Amino acid sequence: MQNRLLQWIDRKLENFIPENCQGCGFKPEMREALEETKELFLAFADSMPVPLVVSSLATGTILYCNDLCDLAFGVTASEFIDRQHAETLYSNPADRRQLLEVLARDGYVREAEVRLKKADGTEFWATVSMRYLTLEAEKAVLSVFCDITERKRAAALEREMLESIGLRARQQAAVALLGQEALAETDLSALMDKAAVLIAKTLDVDYCQFLELLPSGQAFLLRSGVGWEPELVGRATVTASARSQAGYTLLAGEPTVVRDLRVETRFSESPLLHNHRVVSGVTAIVPGNRTQEKSNWGQAEPPHNSPSQSSVWGVMGVHTSRDRCLH
């Protein structure tokens, strides 16, 4: 594999013998030994169990890479050497520049975590360690990479499981606390206020709302909540038609999960949510003792017939101002 790095090694070998053998006679076995040293270097680099890249510090041009770079990045050595800039290996080229700053300050970089990318654009996590090399008068950077994608994925899964366990524990504690509050509190409004605060804190959400279905069945009243403009609580109303998330939930008869309200197509008339820049959320029916005509819900006028009845107090919802999967 002829490239600038190997040519530099060849020049060093050619210069070494005359400088060190004047007056002692040239011995062929000395050249053979040095050639073996060259082969040993190449064998060592190519036998490394991780991708290895040597690049010019001044220009960033890749001068050498071992065979594993083909597997890691999907680019052969002939496509890499003298043709690619080392920054093309990084998902964010600025990451390499930051690593070079660390290298200049400390003289080495040890197992820094970065996102790299293959030739087809696929990204993966890796650690990179760096050292300086000097090729004649030119400084170069030796970079060794280690794929840690699976390790990062496993760590993320473990973190998610622990968070899930912690969330369930907080939920159980919250339910127990609400039960105690319900036994001690006789004021329904005060109980809902406490419940809204506890739910928002337990689920780590920006907004919590209790929407009471009004007797007409046409709208909800924001009876209690957290995160909303103070003057809206107890005054603001939300349509009970399928045009709002709460109304859609009521008519669907099951919880409604929204990942991104900005692109939601099932319903569109939710000014309370839009004005507070809500992105994600989930709403669910709150059962009650009050019996209402189910077919009146969300209708402009009550129907003339007498439909089946259902006991519903209203709808509870939790929402966030950032993209989040709530379920």
DSSP-derived secondary structure for 221-240: EEEEEESS-GGGTTT-EEE-
Cβ–Cβ under 8 Å, residues 256 and 264: no
Kindly state whether residues 57 and 131 are assigned to the same domain: yes
Q: Please indicate, yes or no, if residue 157 is contained in any of the structural domains.
A: no
Q: What is the pLDDT of residues 165-174, one digit of tens each?
A: 566 666 666 6
Separation CA 61–CA 185 (nearest Å): 72
CA-nearest of 100, 95, 140 to 113 is: 95
325 in any annotated domain: no
Contacts within 8 Å (CB) and 24+ apart, 236-240? 236/272, 238/211, 238/270, 238/272, 239/269, 239/298, 240/213, 240/214, 240/297, 240/298
Residue 204 falls inside a structural domain? yes
At 260-278, the pLDDT tens digits run: 999 999 998 788 998 999 9
Residue 145 shares a structural domain with residue 200: no
Tokens of 139: 């400084």
- What angle do helix axes 28-47 and 4-21 make, rounded to 10 degrees? 150
- Is residue 312 included in any domain, yes or no? yes
Q: What does DSSP assign to residue 277?
A: T
Task: Clarify whether residues 214 and 296 are in a common domain.
Answer: yes
Domain-terminating residue out of 150, 173, 202: 150
- 145 and 13 together in one domain: yes
Task: Give the three-state DSSP class for 15.
Answer: helix
Q: Kindly state the percentage of the chain with pLDDT values over 70.
A: 68
Q: State residue 76's pLDDT score.
A: 79
Rounded to 5 degrees, what are φ and ψ at 143? Answer: -120, 130
Average pLDDT over residues 100-107: 94
Please tell me whether residues 144 and 232 are part of one structural domain.
no
On the 0-12 / 13-18 / 19+ scale of CB atoms within 10 A, 177 is middle
Q: Is 247 part of a structural domain of the chain?
A: yes
pTM: 0.46
pLDDT over 90 (residue 102): yes
CATH of the domain at 47: 3.30.450.20
More confident call, 276 vs 3: 276
Beta pairing partners, 320: 280
226/101 same-domain check: no
Task: Identify residue 26 by its one-letter amino acid code.
Answer: F
Q: What is the pLDDT of residues 210-224, one digit of tens each?
A: 999 999 889 999 999
Regarding whether 190 and 120 lie in a shared domain, the answer is: no
State how many domains the chain has.
2
Can you tell me which residue has the tokens 């919802």? 317
Domain stops at, among 150, 171, 199:
150
- In this model, does residue 71 exceed pLDDT 90? no
For residue 27, what pLDDT is reported? 47
pLDDT digits (tens, 9 = 90+) for 295-314: 455 543 333 332 333 588 99
Q: What does the pLDDT read at residue 198?
A: 83
Residue span of the structural domain in which 141 resides: 4-150
